Structure 1
Amino acid sequence: MRTGAAAGHTGYFHEAIRYDSDEHLLAVVVPFLIGGVAAGEPTIVALGERNAGLVREALPAGCPVTFMSGGEVYARPAGAIRAYRRLLAELAEDNGQIRIVGELPPEALGATWDWWARYESAINHAYDEFPLWSMCAYNERTTAPAVLADVARTHPRTARPDGRHEPNPQYTEPTEFLLERRPPVADPIQAGPPVAELVGPTPAEAREAVRARRLGDLDDLALAVSEVVTNAHMYGRAPVRMRIWAGAGRVVVTVADGGPGPAYPFAGLLPAGGDDASAGFGLWIAHQTCDHVSLYRSAEGFTVRLAQRAP
């Protein structure tokens, strides 16, 4: 049986907390957690160290709330989805509702926000089979306006400190949000010319071009690039172009083709099924291994950008 604001709701009840002070954050989070404990529901905190400390101090002594390390959970979007789905499947067997409050690490809100925005949108679908009520915390004092705009578009509701749970009029369904043409976020390493450029490379040639950078063990990146190049040849349109930039301990690769990109909105974040399975598998591998994956659609075609730190 669902309790609190999610009472009577089926599936995932997804909210944002846009807080402007510690007091604002605690006014939302503490009643949420205490309410979960009182209802006998699994109640979990996956906040950063500072905010987790604030919550610990504000909760009654001995309050049986589970604290997880947010940094470990949120290493990569696809990994976070996989880990949470496993946890939710275990907890849902014996419980009518699960409560989680979490936050992304600060670095996720910068240059790699595009794939975390896709995560926040995709989980509306990925977790909808579970009786989950979660709140995602964003600090309005330090979060960029563009990120906050995406927060409103990827969270159906916002939780307020006065107990209100307001629908977000800007909310956009994942099947629309994830297929939008979003402008590329500039990567500083791409300011200079690429160190290699290939037109129509085979998967083997793509792997060798990455390994030829001689910057350490780049096997994971080479595999991911190979899979993306295979997808571009099989499902995209010629010409297929691959470019590589290297420097400052990082390697960035783009693979572009003239096609529209995968029709499956959750490509990379969830394994695709049915007719999309083969096309989505390569992107799913890339999302498991690379430090950052960006997907860009434009009038000219579809581009995948993969970034990896060089060991």
Structure 2
Amino acid sequence: MSTTTTEVDPFVHPALFYRGSRQYLDGTLPFIREGLEAGEPVAVAVPGQNLKLIQTELGEMASEVRFLDMTEAGRNPGRIIPGVLRAFADRHSSGRVRIIGEPIWPGRSATEYPACVQHEALINLAFSGRAVTILCPYDLDGLDPEVIRDAEATHPVLIDGSGSRSSGDYAPDRIVRDYNQPLSDPPPGFVTFAFGNGTLALVRAFAVDYASRTGLAGERLEDLRLIVSELAANSLDYGGGSGVLRLWSEDLRVVFDISDAGHIADPLAGRRPVGPRHPGSRGLLVTNLLSDLVRVHTAHGATTVRVYFNVR
């Protein structure tokens, strides 16, 4: 007689649905305390108001927790996996790690939201097989019902005031596909630069000149210069040998995108540490780490990467 065993993924990714500060604390504080008592490293990356709430309630135990304001560290959702979650988990890879991550809060814009929900879906792929627990709070009073429905699709376990249950609607791959939609057209007045081999310096200078005239300066202007260079180089190397840069300004932001004939087949491209043998991934990682928002649409023979810089 033969038997088969099913391996259980050590990665745990529950959504915490809460109403008000009391339910928020009831769902987060035991999670933190249990982790600390078990000797597990704990990080909390949530919006500033909730961060202060947790710190106050933890008292002296707060000194044992790594705290990050998600409105800063996770302003660009594409930065959260490599710059927040992986950065913490990889430093503590010898045992289980606990993280509270709240990437979607009331006030996230409609432009940001698709990147947020794709991030939540991709966490499951990024951490599969790892001894990590990431608890994601969702404000039932402040978020739209659509957001809660999407959370049920991106989290295999759901927690609320009545307890914990498996999600019958869990389908992270569907979420990644559904939100991989063509990006909106730029507003009137945008400028373009078509580039090919031998024009990398020209497209970089064109972008920097435009951004500087709209108010971007200093280190942020240098970040934009680097990103344009990386993405344009990706187009030349992996996107058919040419591309089109478009730039415009909107809502105190400098925005640009680069389109080419390539296809990003790896859904985690730009969201994990990469080595030199991963073509094109370094440029996407740099883009996610340095930008205020990144939106991507990719299909066979057509990819657009759109990048936002806040003008402070």
TM-score of Structure 1 vs Structure 2, range by shorter chain: 0.7 to 0.9
How big is each residue's C-alpha offset from its partner over 1:49-85, in whole Å with a ceiling of 9 and x where there is no partner?
43344445656x6556625133354244454333432
1:224-303, aligned counterparts within 5 Å?
224-237=227-240, 240-246=243-249, 249-259=252-262, 261-272=263-274, 277-297=278-298, 301-303=302-304
How big is each residue's C-alpha offset from its partner over 1:266-289, in whole Å with a ceiling of 9 and x where there is no partner?
1121245686x1222221121121
**Which residues of structure 1 form unaligned runs of 5+?**
1-7
Contact 2:253 2:308 in 1 (8 A): yes
Q: What residue in structure 2 maps to residue 119 of structure 1?
A: 119
Segment of structure 1 superposing worse, 289-298 or 116-125: 116-125
CA RMSD in angstroms, aligned pairs only:
3.2
Distance 1:27 1:179, change over 3 A: same
Counterpart of 1:46, as a letter, is A
Q: What residue in structure 2 maps to residue 183 of structure 1?
A: 181
Q: What residue in structure 2 maps to residue 210 of structure 1?
A: 207
Counterpart of 2:187, as a letter, is A
Counterpart of 2:166, as a letter, is E
**Which residues of structure 2 form unaligned runs of 5+?**
1-6
Q: What residue in structure 2 maps to residue 3 of structure 1?
A: none
**Alignment partners' CA distance in 1, 2:154 and 2:161:** 20
Distance 1:90 1:108, change over 3 A: farther
Q: Secondary structure at the match of 1:138?
A: strand
**Alignment partners' CA distance in 2, 1:28 and 1:82:** 25
Counterpart of 1:306, as a letter, is V
Q: Secondary structure at the match of 2:92?
A: helix
How big is each residue's C-alpha offset from its partner over 1:14-50, in whole Å with a ceiling of 9 and x where there is no partner?
1111223334333322333343344343344333343
Counterpart of 1:132, as a letter, is V
1:27-66, aligned counterparts within 5 Å?
27-55=26-54, 63=61, 66=65
1:97-112, aligned counterparts within 5 Å?
97-104=96-103, 106=105, 109-110=108-109, 111-112=111-112
1:134-153, aligned counterparts within 5 Å?
134-153=134-153
Paired residues, what number?
A: 294
Counterpart of 2:203, as a letter, is A
Counterpart of 1:28, as a letter, is G
Contact 2:86 2:272 in 1 (8 A): no
How big is each residue's C-alpha offset from its partner over 1:232-282, in whole Å with a ceiling of 9 and x where there is no partner?
2332247622211135542111211234x211111121245686x122222
Counterpart of 1:292, as a letter, is L
Contact 2:105 2:139 in 1 (8 A): no
Q: How big is the shift at 1:181? A: 5.8
Contact 2:100 2:135 in 1 (8 A): yes
Counterpart of 1:33, as a letter, is I
Q: Secondary structure at the match of 1:306?
A: strand
**Alignment partners' CA distance in 1, 2:294 and 2:43:** 29
Residue 200, structure 1, aligned to residue 201, structure 2: no
TM-score by length of 2: 0.79
